[in-house]
Amino acid sequence: MTRDARAFWLRAPGEGEIRSVTLPAPGPDEVLVRTRYSGVSRGTETLVFTGRVPVDQYATMRAPFQEGDFPAPVKYGYLSVGVVEEGPEALRGRTVFCLYPHQTAYVVPAQAVVVVPERVPAARAVLAGTVETAVNALWDAPPLVGDRVTVVGGGMVGCCVAALLARFPGVRTELVDADPARAAVAAALGVDFALPADAAGGRDLVVHASASGDGLQRSLELLRPEGTVLELSWYGDRPVTLRLGGAFHSGRLRIHSSQVGTVSPRRADRSYHDRLALALDLLADPAFDALLTGRSRFAELPDVLDRLGTGRLPALCHLITYDGE
């Protein structure tokens, strides 16, 4: 069994490369996974690629199997799907998801992988990490039956939240984005769509995921009195300016942050593994295929991240394929 692998590394901000690596033999409680697909988490990974992680967030932003340190050199990523080639008998030959960087094969503890349900295609399963973020968000601010909910920002995270909200009984969801092309994605997910200027007001809950100050400001403007903005955006080192006069105080509006690094306190009875397994189960819905908007070979990843980082390659989740796919 060959133990040679290749990994994507950020050599310096804005400069990626493919490096060779030799894998260790897996121990008795470890697995060797041969990668089939990985996904580029466009918002977070482009911030990492361009070297825009704030110094005081270096520890918080570490991925589970990251190597190196910010800003670079660093091996980063966390949306990987592959097949177990070596390990415990119950896992051998199974398709699994792991929060691992972009690498052709890797050895990790067996408890670090979660089996992909048979009804979930392997390519779609790369979205599990982002759906997990959406699950945690809706644990942090669960809507009530009949709520009017808006998601501002039609990127990966925003669309995953919208997809889950579409399944809540009696909840009418509107996806808001400055790009009119997101209307087709909204339709595929089963939610309404509006441009920011045309968005409906009087909302009980607004989930903000545009990673822009303008988007957060518009989110506040859409709330009913005593409504809540759930903030999911990661701004990196960019400052955000808000206008908090007007209805912010008189309407008793709230901004509630959510972050996937911890399980929501509202669901303290659930583990990280429980949350990830739930995300994979939810991905049985084919509507999520609308979020896979392009694919490239692993060898092209340095160029792909460069184009994503500069905005030359528009994408929601860009799928990376490996040998034989």
Phi, psi of 161 (to 5 degrees): -65, -45
> In the predicted model, is pLDDT for residue 297 greater than 80?
yes
Tens-digit pLDDT profile for residues 108-159: 999 999 999 999 999 999 999 999 999 999 999 999 999 999 999 999 999 9
Q: At 325, is the pLDDT very low, low, confident or very high (cuts 50, 70, 90)?
A: low
CA distance 126 to 96: 10
Same domain, yes or no: 65 and 156:
no
CA distance 227 to 93: 48
Same domain, yes or no: 197 and 228:
yes
Is 42 inside any structural domain? Answer: yes
How many domains, the chain? Answer: 2
Same domain, yes or no: 114 and 72:
yes
Same domain, yes or no: 247 and 168:
yes
Amino acid sitting at position 23: L
What is the per-residue pLDDT for 324? 60
Which residues, at least 6 apart from 240, have a Cβ–Cβ distance to it below 8 Å? 213, 216
> In the predicted model, is pLDDT for residue 68 greater than 60?
yes
> Which CATH number fits the domain that encloses residue 286?
3.90.180.10
Same domain, yes or no: 166 and 245:
yes
Is 136 inside any structural domain? Answer: no
Same domain, yes or no: 124 and 150:
no
Domain around 178: 142-257
Total length of the chain: 325
Is 304 inside any structural domain? Answer: yes
Answer with the residue of higher pLDDT: 110 or 44: 110
Q: At 267, is the pLDDT very low, low, confident or very high (cuts 50, 70, 90)?
A: very high
Q: Which of 222, 257, 292 is the last residue of a domain?
A: 257
DSSP E strands in 116-162: the ranges are 148-152
> Which CATH number fits the domain that encloses residue 236?
3.40.50.720
What is the per-residue pLDDT for 253? 97
Instruction: Name the residue among 49, 36, 39 with its Cα closest to residue 10.
Output: 49
Is 137 inside any structural domain? Answer: no
Same domain, yes or no: 73 and 175:
no
Same domain, yes or no: 110 and 38:
yes
Same domain, yes or no: 148 and 196:
yes
Q: Which of 233, 257, 281 is the last residue of a domain?
A: 257
Is 317 inside any structural domain? Answer: yes
Phi, psi of 208 (to 5 degrees): -100, 125
Q: Which of 226, 257, 288 is the last residue of a domain?
A: 257
Same domain, yes or no: 26 and 89:
yes
Same domain, yes or no: 97 and 175:
no
CA-CA distances (angstroms) from residue 32 to 77, 105, 112, 144, 273?
18, 7, 11, 43, 19
Q: What is the mean pLDDT of the chain?
A: 95
Same domain, yes or no: 14 and 100:
yes
Give the strand pairing for 317-321 and 292-297: parallel
| Global pTM value | 0.92
Is 148 inside any structural domain? Answer: yes
Is 262 inside any structural domain? Answer: no
